Each structure stands twice: as structure tokens, then as C-alpha cells.
Structure 1
């Protein structure tokens, strides 16, 4: 009896379908191939079907069977390759680093002693990725990534070259070597989108390296350009971004003020990761929490941060939320906790924590610690040279200048920050800086320009849906309109003529019986600044008490009204 030959076509058709993103077509072809008999090649392909469709049981079952069959055939290199992928699966799907490490060690045992080849490259990629993902060991990641690039080029494996470039670039960026790192990331993404690689998961992985690296250094302009190309690629090949990439992409959209799109991407990412890869959902939850905070939905933000409590982005979000609620001590503690996660000075990831720490420490009056944080932030910005981080430096300088009472220096710093942000399409950040600038201008007595900055901020916030910040800005505008000083026509010929406009405003509110804290709230100033103004008023008027100053104000008709006297210049 002559046996019917096994048809090889289904196996080839399955791998072709995988390359085209036809996951169900690939499943059907691999199933047909497996009906004819189990082969590790068909099971390896079926493992990819499960991986791309987020079917973890199928992924693990198919890959473990493929591993055993390769091992049974004596193909140690192929078995090691599958072991490396299983290490990644245990980390991504199940959050099991110990099991992942076990598979990595098994891969090493199988492959050590064999002639270097493509399978060595896959082990290097996975080991390097896990090193940077779990331990932030960028030096190890760079070494392994460079090895993968070399092997990919030597053996004509574009996936290896592409992922090696992406991993090496991501590690270099984290270490502050931005120019070199971005060159590698740009090349990796070019390889991905040029169609040189056939494994679409690896294409998405390489793109994710670039987008996440751009986010780390706030290079949103570069990210936006590449995201447009990634979107075109996904549309042409009828595939979707990986859920992890969706979360990073959402941060780019959020920066640009495209909050509805960002929310859609984040909601999809949270849903997808929660059902398929629970260990990875914390990142998307934290990003959604930050979007809710910016929208002014504080309770929802707090709930989302609590669901991802120890994630680094949640620490940042909770610190920002504490500042929103005027709790600088808690904000400083959370910022410090975040910074301890990235303990090497100069790491670009530290910039966001340093910026929050400076704001919190300034409110606490801890000038020396704030200055130290600013010094490190400047060093990072000098290497990164991205507009958002440079703007963060300028804004932080303005915050500390306000704390010192140097409002003119603060004005210049906030103006510089605003100019940088205007050049990179950042409506929320621009609006926040406008409010800081408006408060500083108000302290300098430049009320008309202060009003214009607040109105511009309100327009920004309304356009993107930042309801909480919009309400804060409207409150500032209302206080500004209430705080104008009126004087009788002969006031300039009185002892009050030596007082500045701001000192006259403070004096008028002292006369109303307000405390320094009340005055600070009314005029949108720090209590420290009001204390200094009151001391200057008493010195200039030669008085020793607030009661005497209030009496003098009443004698000369100083008061608060809707408009200022024409004799007083703005």
C-alpha cells in the first residue's frame, strides 16, 4: 500500500498568512498541516497565531509542544529560540519573572557551544529586553542588542537587526545618549515600515521601542511624525497597534491636546491588556489616570492610580494630584519615591520626577533641595535638547524665582517656557505656564497683560476639555478683576505715592481686614510674597502696625473696586 504524501503547502500558506496579518487564515492552514502530523514548524506558527490573537493557552500549548519536538529532533538551536519566546510569554502574559528566567537559562544551556547563528540572536534580544524591562540594566541590554544586530546582518535576518537596533537605541536614550540612540531607533523603525521584516509582531515591537523612547525624552515631534507613518502601515496591512504601543501613542495624542483620540486608544489598551496580559495593564491604567487628572476628574484619576499604585507613572500622577490639592509634602514624597526607582543621576526618566519635586519643594520653602533638583534637570536637558524638557527647565526656574520673590526673573523664565511650548504644539502645558506667567505679571502690577494670559489659557483649556484647569483660570480671572485699587485724585501727593501698585493693592486689602493668607489667595500670590509686601508698606509709611496702615488707607480713600484710577499706571 502506497502512503499518501504529506502536503507541504498548508505550512507555507500558514507562514505567508502570518506575514500578511491574516491570523485566522494562518490558524486554518496550520491546523490543516497538523492534521497530517505534528511538526514543530506548524506548532511554532500556531504559537504565533495565539500570540497575535492574545490567546494565551494556545500560545503556551503550541510553543511548549514545538519546543519538545525540536528538542526531540536534536535541533537545539530551534529549541533554544522557542525557549526564549516562552520566557517572554511568561513575563508578558503571566507576570512571572522567575519562570521567564528559567526559560532563558534553559535556552543558554541548549545553545552554548553551538556555532553562532540566528537563534543566538533571538536569545540575545529576549535577554536584553528582559534586562532593561525588569532591572533597567541598560548596559547589558546594549551589549546583547549589538550582538543581535551583528548576527542579523551576518545571517540576513532583518527582524534581528531591526529589534537589536531598537533595543540598543532605547537603552542609549535612557542613558542620555540621545543623538546616537535616536539614530538607531529611526533606522529600526525604517526597517520595520519598509517591509523588510516578515514577522508583524516584531514590526510593531520595533515601532513601540521608538515611541516609548520618544516619550521618555518628551520628543513628541519625532514621535508624531513616526506615528503618522505607523498609522499608514497599519492601515495598508489591516493590522492594529499592539495594546502596549496604543498606550504610548496615547501619550503623544494627549500632549497634542487630542484628548478624545487619546482616551479611545487608552480605553482600548486597558480593555485588551486586562483580558489578555494582566501584568501589563498598569501602564495603561496610569496613563488613563493622568488623562483624567488633566481633565479635572480627580476622583476617577485617584481610582485609576490606586489600581496601578506602584507603577512609576502612577507615582508621578499621584504626586501631580497632590500638588493639585495643595499637598506639597505628599507630592515631594511621591516624587522622591519615583526618583529612587531611577537612582542613577542623569537618567532621562528622572526629568519628570525632578520637575514635580521642584514645584513641591518650592511650595515647602525648601530652596536648597529644589536648587539641587533644578541643577540635575538642567544637566539632563543639556543632553536631551528636546523643547519640552527645555521648557520644563525654564518653568522650574520661574517657579523658584517666584519663591525667592524675584518676579521679573520669573516672568522671563515663564515667557521662555511658553515660547518653547508654542513651537511644539502643547496646549495643556502652554495653558499651565500661561497661568504661572499671569500670576507673576499680576505680582509685577501688569494687570492687563496678566488678564490676557489668563484668557488665552482659558481658551486653550476649553478647546481640549481641561475643565479643572479652566475653572482654576476663571477663578484667577475673577480675583484679578476684583483687586483693582481706587484712589482719590490727590492721592499722588500723599505719603501713599511711594508705594508700588501691588503694595497699594495689599494695603487696600489690609484695610478690609483680610489676613495675609486671605490676601495671598485674593491676589494669586504666595503668602511669603504678601508678608514681604506688608513689611515694605510699613517701612515706607513709617508705621509699626497693620491697624495704623489700615487707618491711613481709610484716611486717603484707598479701596478695591472694579476699575483702577486713571492716575495709576498698569
Structure 2
């Protein structure tokens, strides 16, 4: 049988590309390219197929060759290719190389009439301004995009302009306006009027800001839309991005033990494809491990997020706090609060209140709580309102204002239920336990404690108390309860009956207790409990 001719292979590659059969297209173009140089159009098609399959470095090399050829024949097309390469490097997390490609595009477009390429470049400039917190430059680029969108009447440029304007509005606490602009920008995306690589970036920006705003209902809605789009697009890069954002939402409701493995896998797969999304995945992995009590694993995940260009705060500060390193935690959170924008500060303020309460620094907690409440009112998202009520309720408990604390904590519960944020819900119930005990309502306290413990068990985590356990040996509240029963002479069965747990669970808690306090027998554990006032 004769081997297919070069012409036949080229026809096969082009047909496969038109059908969206990226594997067949890539393989056929690859074979032809080894036999003879591909034309500019075919090389561009090969680059696109490689990108769709996740071969990012190979795709970029081919795109650079396309750019070089276009500079000799079509400056506008070359500038557009430079824009695409800038976007590719930007989403991989290499801002400097992205800026280099933007400079090439800018130079090629100088003196030319406005075109879609100008719109794409201006969008990249707006994105870069947002990343570097240059809000004056961001505003200028937003106005320029609006002008280009009106003049060019190009759906993709219109969508890019609306997204940039939406981000600008959100960063300035005009949340409703920002959401309205983003919702309008989504229409051209849903109608497939925006090239896929740019559409994917727009989806990422939308979900990223929903997450920053702690608006899980909206993020859940857009994640579902993106999931449908990811399935239709058949894109390996954005399939991975979809996974990370989907898992960020599921952290609110799913078993953390299952989420841990999925987050680790999704983040690894994205490292060379989308550095920003991979960093977010590793940060979320660190948070999951922190809440599960895997401190070393959490530290490793936060280090991986930092290596990809993300400052892993407030997660690292809260991890230090849970380890009992309260001074280090406070230093870390105060340093983090000196940078970033107002939107970034909200998540940091929430952690600052937690850490201040752990240090019994109630005046500092009050200062940060007031700022958190002001920002929650300004941005107006359900997540921020829940955080502010949660923080205020916790502070009121520590101040001994138990009746008022219960009213505020009930408000936080309502918001968290809207969010479907179960770990936070369990934490609120924990504070309500203390408030009820302060009022002498022991039955209500017991009911709230049982509710919190049930949620923690379903999520696969142990209750950690305020910013981690302040108990000796870093024991959790439940471990202290088990140890207290044993120290009073209860058998495993009796402890299980008293705490409404199984004997197997009591055994697991005892094993963890022995490991944490460095003993190997019940007698030694009981002695340690008396020495450290655990009973």
C-alpha cells in the first residue's frame, strides 16, 4: 500500500480542522510540517489545534513563526497575532513576556486606523492595569475600549470593553453596576461571537471576581454556564480551568477528603497552561488541608501557589495561627493588609479579626471588624455580609454580650445558608454554643454543638475552634472532650455513649490525641490532661 501523498495529508489536516477534530488536525499538520514548511494559514491552524489539545509550548512556538511571517505582509494581522501571544503568556502567569508581546503589537499598530486589533490590545492593557492595581490606567483603557466598541461595532471588542468596565466598577465597590456590565458582556460569548481563547479568559475573569466577592450563588450560576461552554469548546486548557472553578464552589458543600485529591490533580494539570488558575487551585487546596488539620500539606500547597505568583494570604497567616504561632500570624496578616486593593482587603480583614480574637486583642479585632462591616455594606454581596456578621458576632461573644451576639450570629447563618457555605455555618454554630452557655441555655448549646459536629463530620474535618484550637497540645474541641472523658475513667464505650459517637470514632480520636501530646497510654494521657487543665 502506498503512503498518502503530502497533498492528501494536507487536505486531511485542513478538513479535520474545519470539523473541529483537533487530534486528527494536529497529527496531520505535524506530519506535513516535517516534510516541508507549512504555509502561514496552515501553520496558524496547526498552532490552534495544538493549543486546543493543551500543547501550549508547541502552540506558542508555531504562533511566533506565524507572527514573524505576518510582519512581512500584514501589520494588522501581525499585531493581532502578537495580542494572542500576549494573552497566552499572561494567562500562564508570565507578565513580563506578555508585556513584550504587547509592545510589539503597539508598535505595529502605531499610525494605523483603528481596528479590532486595537480593541484586543487595549483590553490587554486594561487587564495588566488591573493586575498591577493601576486604577487610573484601568479607567483610561475602559474609556478607550468604549470608544472603540462604538466605532467598530465588533461583538468581541464590545464584550471585552464591557468586561473591563465591569471589573473597574467592582474594584470601586459599584458591584451592581459591575454585575450588570458583566451580564451584558456574556451575551456575545454565549452566541460564540468571541474567539475561544479570549472567551475563556473572560469567563476566568468573571469567576475570579465572583470568588473574590464571596458571591457563591452567582459563581455557582456562572460555573454551570462555563461547564456547558467547556464541554462544547472541547478545549483542554479551559477544561482544566473549569475544574478549578467548579471545585472552588464545591468547597462550600462537599466532603473535603474527596475535594483534596481533585484540587491537587486539577492544579497540577494547569501549571504550564494557566498559571493564575493553577495558583488559585493550589491556594484552595491549602485551605482545604488547613481545615482538615494537615498543616504540612497546607504549607506545601501555599508554597506552590506562591511559586505561581500568588500571595497565599490570608491562608498562610491562618495556618500559622492554627499551629499556635500567634505572633507570626499577626505579623503576616498585618503585612498583607499593607498591600492590595480594597476588594482584596475584605478577605484579609476577616482573617485579621479571627487572629486578633485568638490573641485576645479585642480592640484590634474591633478596628478590623468596623472596616469589614463598612466594606460589606459598600460591596453588598451576601458573602461579605455573612463575613461581617460572623466577625461581629464572634467579637460580641468574646466581649460577653451574649444576647446581642446571638442576634448577629443568626443573621450570619441566614446569609451562609444562601451561600451554601457549610464550614462557615458550622463555625457560626460554634460561637452560638458559647453564647448560649454564657446565658445558661445548656440545652440550646448542646443542640448547636451537635449541629456543628454533624456538619464537620460530613465535610470530613474536625472542629478547630477559634482560628484553630487554643487548647494545650493543639487539640480540637472534640479531642478535648474525648480526653476529658478518658481522664475521668470512662471506657471507650462509655465515652462513646456520653458524646454520642461510635467506639471506632473514639478510638480514632484517642490515636490522634496520643500523637499530639506525645504519650502512648490512657494513664499517661489522663495525667497529661490533669496537668494541662483539660478536665
Match 1:443 to one of 430, 438, 443: 438
CA distance in 2, matches of 1:69, 1:138: 36
CA contact (8 A) 1:90 1:100 kept: yes
Cα offset, 1:38, TM superposition: 4.0
- Deviation string, structure 1 residues 262-318 (Cα, Å, up to 9, x no partner): 445523322212354568643322211111112232221122223334765522111
Match 1:319 to one of 312, 317, 320: 317
Q: 2:52 aligned with 1:48, yes or no?
A: no
CA distance in 2, matches of 1:108, 1:274: 29
CA distance in 1, matches of 2:11, 2:115: 27
Distance 1:279 1:203, change over 3 A: closer
- The answer for the alignment partner of 1:83 in structure 2 is 82
CA distance in 2, matches of 1:376, 1:158: 40
- Deviation string, structure 1 residues 134-181 (Cα, Å, up to 9, x no partner): x13344334434544554565454333323322332332232221111
- The answer for the alignment partner of 2:515 in structure 1 is none
Cα offset, 1:451, TM superposition: 0.7
TM-score, length basis structure 1: 0.74
Q: 2:61 aligned with 1:57, yes or no?
A: no
CA contact (8 A) 1:253 1:261 kept: no
**After the TM superposition, which of the residue ranges 425-434 and 244-253 deviates more from structure 2?**
244-253
Match 1:225 to one of 217, 221, 224: 221
Cα offset, 1:260, TM superposition: 6.0
**After the TM superposition, which of the residue ranges 226-235 and 436-445 deviates more from structure 2?**
226-235
Match 1:333 to one of 331, 334, 338: 331
Distance 1:152 1:243, change over 3 A: farther
**After the TM superposition, which of the residue ranges 223-232 and 360-369 deviates more from structure 2?**
360-369
Q: 1:13-412 maps to which residues of 2 (within 5 A)?
A: 13=15, 16-17=18-19, 20=20, 22-27=21-26, 38-73=38-73, 75-93=74-92, 95-133=93-131, 135-148=132-145, 150-152=147-149, 154-197=151-194, 199-239=195-235, 241-257=238-254, 259=256, 262-263=259-260, 265-276=262-273, 281-309=278-306, 312=310, 314-342=312-340, 344=341, 347-412=342-407
Cα offset, 1:350, TM superposition: 1.1
- The answer for the alignment partner of 1:503 in structure 2 is none
- The answer for the alignment partner of 1:548 in structure 2 is none
CA distance in 1, matches of 2:410, 2:206: 31
CA distance in 1, matches of 2:271, 2:202: 23
Cα offset, 1:57, TM superposition: 3.4
**After the TM superposition, which of the residue ranges 265-274 and 285-294 deviates more from structure 2?**
265-274
Distance 1:433 1:312, change over 3 A: farther
CA contact (8 A) 2:169 2:177 kept: yes
CA contact (8 A) 1:270 1:284 kept: yes
Which consecutive unaligned segments of at least 5 residues does structure 2 have?
1-5, 466-474, 487-528
CA distance in 1, matches of 2:138, 2:54: 26
Q: Which has the higher contact order (CA 8 A, sep 6+)?
A: 2
Which consecutive unaligned segments of at least 5 residues does structure 1 have?
483-514, 523-570
CA distance in 2, matches of 1:212, 1:125: 17
- Deviation string, structure 1 residues 327-379 (Cα, Å, up to 9, x no partner): 3322222222222231x4xx222111001111212333433332221222112
CA distance in 2, matches of 1:459, 1:99: 50
CA distance in 1, matches of 2:410, 2:378: 22
Query: Could you say which structure has the larger radius of gyration?
Result: 1
CA distance in 2, matches of 1:156, 1:11: 33
Distance 1:412 1:479, change over 3 A: farther
TM-score, length basis structure 2: 0.79
Query: What SS is found at the alignment partner of 2:420?
Result: coil
CA distance in 2, matches of 1:158, 1:326: 54
Query: What SS is found at the alignment partner of 1:44?
Result: helix
Q: 2:451 aligned with 1:456, yes or no?
A: yes
**After the TM superposition, which of the residue ranges 40-49 and 8-17 deviates more from structure 2?**
8-17
- Deviation string, structure 1 residues 416-450 (Cα, Å, up to 9, x no partner): 21222123211111001111111221122211111
CA contact (8 A) 2:257 2:460 kept: no
CA contact (8 A) 1:13 1:29 kept: no
CA distance in 2, matches of 1:237, 1:104: 26
Distance 1:453 1:313, change over 3 A: farther
CA contact (8 A) 1:398 1:413 kept: yes
Query: What SS is found at the alignment partner of 1:136?
Result: coil
CA distance in 2, matches of 1:103, 1:323: 43
